[in-house]
Structure 1
Amino acid sequence: MPIENLARSDVVTAQEHDSVQELATRMDESHVGSVVITEGDEPIGIVTDRDLATRVLGNGMDPAEATAGDVMSDDLTTADQTDGFYKATELMSEQGIRRLPVCDENNELVGIITSDDLNELLADEHMQLSDVIQAQRPEY
């Protein structure tokens, strides 16, 4: 199944010059743990709630003055929207990441998939498999 069918299209984004205080507010209001940093429609980095804790608070930075560009991970791993579920999980595992921005053929951001999304999908699949097994089970 292509991840374009699984990815969330309502990605929270920001610009490199936005303050980390603004990013934290967006994360809180949107109930997400990351903000994808874009230049135009192209993703160039990501800031996670962990980045805010370790890179900002841990280093004593002023959240009102530090910018997304100061703390973002710019070695961004992305997936193509036509990649499959297994490719996405492989990328996340190899890179040790929990959030994977999804891009189209022009490298424009079209969505994001998270490890929580993948776990939810797997749980649904397990439930469906359980239902099939229960339906085929003879009654005694």
Structure 2
Amino acid sequence: MAIGEICNREVVILGRNESALDAARLMRQHHVGDVLVVEERTGRKEPVGIVTDRDLVVEIMAPGLGPAAITVGDIMGGELVTVRENTGVFEAIQYMRSKGVRRLPVVDAHNGLVGILALDDLLELLSEELLAISKLVKLEQQKEARSRR
């Protein structure tokens, strides 16, 4: 299964020059833990950074800075890790683990934003698959038990 099939396509986005306060308000309004920072390039939105709720706490609140004066461009991470929409689920999991990230922006072949994949999304998918497998195993055990009678 490709990541593009399961990623969340409703991504909360901001421009690099928006304030950290705007980011915090959007996170609260949409009940998410991150906003993607995008730039408009040749008619498509391309992800250039990500700001998480943790970034807001560590970079702004802890040092006592004013969130209205700091832009998301000031606090977003350096290198953004993305994944192509046709990447397989297990390949994406391995990539997230190797890069030490919990969220992956999903992009098309031209680096345009398609969606975002969070670790929570993968855990939900995998738990559903494991549940289906366990039901199958139980069904097979019941069939075998009936055939022994």
Cα deviation digits, residues 41-70 of structure 1 (max 9, x gap): 000000001000101112222011111011
What is the 5 A alignment of 1:20-31? 20-31=20-31
* Mapped contact 1:16–1:69 kept (Cα < 8 A): yes
Aligned equivalents of 2:39, 2:91: Cα separation in 1 = 26
CA RMSD of aligned residues (A): 1.1
- Give the SS at the match of 1:73: coil
- What SS does structure 2 have at the residue aligned with 1:60? coil
Partner of 1:51: 55
Q: Is contact 1:46–1:74 with CA below 8 Å preserved after alignment?
A: no
What is the percentage of aligned positions where both structures have the same residue? 39
Q: Could you tell me which of 76, 83, 89 is aligned with 1:79? A: 83
Structure 2 equivalent of residue 63 of structure 1: 67
Largest Rg, 1 or 2: 2
Give the equivalent residue in structure 2 for 1:42: 46
Q: Is the 8 A contact 1:15 1:39 kept in 2?
A: yes
SS of the residue corresponding to residue 94 of structure 1 reads helix
1:92 and 2:91 are equivalent in the alignment: no
Q: Which runs of 5+ in 2 are unaligned?
A: none
1:6 matched to 2:6 = yes
Alpha-carbon distance in 1 for matches of 2:17, 2:64:
19
Amino acid in the other structure paired with 2:92? A
Alpha-carbon distance between aligned partners in 2 of 1:39 and 1:74, rounded to the nearest angstrom: 15
Runs of 4+ in 1 over 3 A off after TM superposition: none
Structure 1 stretches lacking a partner, 5+ long: none
**Aligned pairs, number:** 140
Paired with 2:113 and 2:65, the residues of 1 have a C-alpha distance of: 29
TM-score by length of 1: 0.96
Q: How far off its partner does 1:74 sit?
A: 2.9
- One-letter code aligned to 1:130: S
Q: Cα deviation per residue 1:54-112 (whole Å; 9 max; x = unaligned)? A: 01112222011111011111310000001111121111101111000000011001000
Distance in 1 of aligned mates of 2:63 and 2:86: 39
1:135 aligns with 2:145: no
Q: In the TM superposition, what is the alpha-carbon distance from 1:117 to its structure 2 partner?
A: 0.4
Partner SS state of residue 137, structure 1: helix
Equivalent AA in structure 2 for residue 24 of structure 1: A
Superposition TM-score, scaled by structure 2 size: 0.91
